[in-house]
Amino acid sequence: MKMSRGLVMLTFIVAAVVLCSHRPATAEEQVELAEGANSTTSPWTLAVPGDKFGCLKLFNCAKYPTTSCITQCCTLFPFTTNPTRNCICWRLAEHVNKEAFTALHNYCGFKNPCQHKQQEEINQQEVVETSKAMDNRSSRNQQVATCCAKDKEKIKTCMLSTVSIDQCCPTYSIMLGRNCDCYNYAKDLDNQALITLESYCDVPNPCKKVQVI
């Protein structure tokens, strides 16, 4: 009788362990999961990139286009040699702000890492849920609206040293057209040149939007 009770208890313990091991990860846990997935594992259970992979930084570049350091954002991708992780990160950044991320990857020259098979594997609902988890993190580290030193250097080079204005129109558009602090920096450098390039490159004044808000 004692052996029978012991076996019953052991059976319950084993069953509990099995059930717990099959509990689906939450969105927050998915973001935390480390590198180590293989080709047969769902990319959303083990391969969702976290902070150390640089995905959150790229996510923030898309989420906060008016305060991000564009030059720094251009160095963030691809952040790994794993195409699935790069694709997941791409989809997350695209989900949070498609217009801003499209402008960023066009300017930086990012290549879309998502192949047709990977597109099928990535479920849109999982993109939404993981995006929410990353959004909770990024909101705690929201950036202050300043023009970073690297962006200032590019703006200064374009305004004072570059002969071709066409060559610098993309820089003016993504840096001056979004960041009020960068716009004011350009204004202090050469207001007359800024007026000219605004018209020629069709660069909007982002400071007017800030005033309206």
Give the global pTM.
0.69
95-122 average pLDDT score: 83
Is the pLDDT score of 63 beyond 80? Answer: yes
pLDDT tens digits, one per residue of 154-202: 999 999 987 789 999 999 999 999 999 999 999 999 999 999 999 999 9
SS3 48: coil
pLDDT at residue number 212: 46
pLDDT tens digits, one per residue of 67-95: 899 999 999 888 778 887 888 889 888 98
Is the pLDDT score of 210 beyond 70? Answer: no
SS3 207: helix
- Exposed/middle/buried for 139, CB within 10 Å: 0-12, 13-18, 19+? exposed
DSSP letter at 145 equals S
pLDDT at residue number 179: 94
pLDDT at residue number 173: 95
What's the rounded Cα separation, in Å, for the pair 122 and 160?
Answer: 46
Lowest mean per-residue pLDDT among 31-40, 130-139, 142-151, 201-210: 31-40
What's the rounded Cα separation, in Å, for the pair 105 and 145?
Answer: 21
For the chain, the domains span 55-114, 149-201
Please report, for residues 66, 98, 104, 113, 190, the alpha-carbon distance to residue 70 in angstroms, rounded to integers and kept in the order given: 10, 16, 8, 20, 21
What's the rounded Cα separation, in Å, for the pair 121 and 185?
Answer: 45
